[in-house]
Chain A
Amino acid sequence: MTDLPTDLTRATAAALADALATKAVSSVEVTQAHLDRIAAVDGQVHAYLHVDAEGALAQARAIDERRGAGESLSALAGVPIAVKDVMTTKGLPTTCGSKILEGWIPPYDATVVTKLREAGLPIIGKTNMDEFAMGSSTEHSAYGPSRNPWDLERIPGGSGGGSSSVLASFQAPLATGTDTGGSIRQPAAVTATVGTKPTYGGVSRYGLVALASSLDQAGPCGRTVLDTALLHAVMGGHDPMDSTSIDAPVPPVVEAARAADVRGMRVGVVKELGGKGYQPGVRARFDESVALLEELGAEVVEVSCPNFDYALAAYYLILPSEASSNLAKFDAMRYGLRVLPDGVDDPSAEQVMAATRDAGFGPEVKRRIILGTYALSSGYYDAYYGSAQKVRALIAQDFANAYEQVDVLVSPTAPTTAFKLGDKLEDPMAMYLNDIATIPANLAGVPGMSIPSGLADEDGLPAGIQILAPATKDERLYSVGAALEAALVDRWGGPILDRAPELGGVAAAKGA
């Protein structure tokens, strides 16, 4: 039906779905093609922590059989997917990139994973991440960093750098992510892929190993806006197991992505996101994208969100505070690592807990736990956590004011293109600044998306544009994203990932 490339790994999820529906290809073929690709390139990229070839092929076979029997299946049935290792998978290891969970096999599936299984997406493996999603580079993974397929010496973003590098290196057509301060959007930006953080409560958090409960949101990752929308529709929806889940249907994201229409939409450029500290090439691609939107019929204005200046500070108090409590459960008593302290005869439970948490957590996790413990402790609560919660209210108010004037907001997704591995590892504050543009959406609970805006002139690396919408209006992201994507692809003369270097030793067949 569609012009499916000879190399199935270069196809979009939408094209694969169409070809599967018409039985032009089988799910086993598609899944096997991706497994072959993984075998060929993941040694260099290190995007996966665990590959479940057998399980994925079994799911693929089952889908093919059901399709063969004439069953009506969901749109993405048979399209394989990579799952971020923060989501529990029954029978498959779930480590969150941490030593403390090494070898843990959850006895239950996250709701998102259940939905993927029900929709018939073979789960091909679990993707790498910064430990417990704390980081912007995957360098905080206890199992070593993933690498950016655009330049293997550079970071693929984080925390969801496994998922972004999977997509950018064609090791799966779709992936899941979680976004607490930008962990879906920033990796998408630095790898020239697409990622959406839905409205808080739009996708169930049940079975997502919590980092910061009031900020965490799971979302879809893809190479195109339509693919991302198709996955969003599968992942989203109300879950009675998550008290913070929104009891409403998934917004019409697929329809919006297909319509790709921004005519008459009011687009606000956030004054506070994009000035000092933003790389010129990133800024240039952003300005061009904004101009394109105007050409496509959108009305562009500048809006001010003055309290965004306090967002980073508020975020790095709220996140560590909630994380310090969420991560207390890792104590060597019920599951996971148990380490006995050195040189202690007959250690107590308390000593074993403390020794295990020292050995099992990496430095960034310990740093944030201790920071959060401080921010919540008596005598400091009001000054830190309490003030941060008030700033959060101010930021939500800034968004509310802005959305009285415009339908969506835009900014560069991240201030810079991918930096070199190791560059910011010794400077936590420099690492935190990567999230400066993505954090406000998490604090306010509003949805956001990153799509590629082009390559920065100074380094030839991908830059991203972030689109933000009011809560529960996720479809607007897809209207704007799809329209802009179409215009940009047209200008580039093809998908941007076609310009990514081929991975060493692999003759990847380019799309037809």
Chain B
Amino acid sequence: MSSLSREDVAHLAGLARIELSDAELDRMVGELSVILESVAKVQQAPTDGVAPMSHPMPLTNVTRPDVVRPSLGAEAALAGAPEAEMQRFSVPRILDED
């Protein structure tokens, strides 16, 4: 239950888009297993019938009026871009069509 195989970690790293080296993978498998064993303790808590809590404060219905605010401007937006072209962010070729 709370142990991860090398393949599991490789799969998770893929989902998280991190290209781990073999050495990193080996190390991570051991570390994560120790951590997982510890955090699995949540499953022993008396949580029957308890509603999960996603937000620490019970606020609801926080909205803003549909009123335009100034945008950054293309120059500021693109200032940090690793590469830009034609006032757009230039990114490497994309494999999959979504």
Contact = CB atoms under 8 A, between A and B. Distances in A.
Interface in A332-384: 332-338, 341, 346-355, 357-358, 361, 363, 366-367, 369-371, 373-374, 377, 383-384
Contacts of B44: 310
Contacts of B19: 341, 351, 354-355, 357-358
B13 A390 contact: no
B59 A201 contact: yes
Contact of A391 (B31, B42, B94): B42
A350 B12 contact: no
B20 A366 contact: yes
B34 to A, nearest CB: 6
A428 B50 CA distance: 30
B32 A371 contact: yes
A152 interface: no
A357 to B, nearest CB: 5
Contacts of A355: 19
B66 interface: no
B45 A244 contact: no
Interface in B27-79: 27-28, 31-32, 34-36, 38-47, 50-57, 59, 62, 64, 72, 76-77, 79
Nearest to A350: B95
B72 to A, nearest CB: 6
Nearest to A106: B80
A324 B32 CA distance: 15
A369 B53 CA distance: 21
A429 B40 CA distance: 13
Contacts of B79: 105, 107
Contacts of A346: 93
B80 A331 contact: no
Contacts, number: 188
Interface residues of B, number: 57
B34 A429 contact: yes
Interface stretch (A279-287, A312-320, A410-418): A312-320
Nearest to A327: B16
B12 A443 contact: no
Contacts of B17: 328, 331, 350, 353-354, 357
Contacts of A406: none
A429 B35 contact: yes
Interface string A433-459: 000000000111100000000000000
Max chain B CB contacts within 10 Å: which of A105, A357, A387, A443? A387
Nearest to B93: A348
A320 to B, nearest CB: 9
Contacts of B43: 383, 387
A387 B43 CA distance: 6
B31 to A, nearest CB: 6
A333 B45 contact: no
A114 interface: no
Contact of A244 (B47, B59, B64): B59
Interface string A222-266: 000000000000000000100110100000000000000000000
A142 to B, nearest CB: 16
Interface in A384-411: 384, 386-394, 396
7 contacts: A105-B79, A108-B72, A214-B55, A316-B35, A331-B17, A357-B19, A370-B16
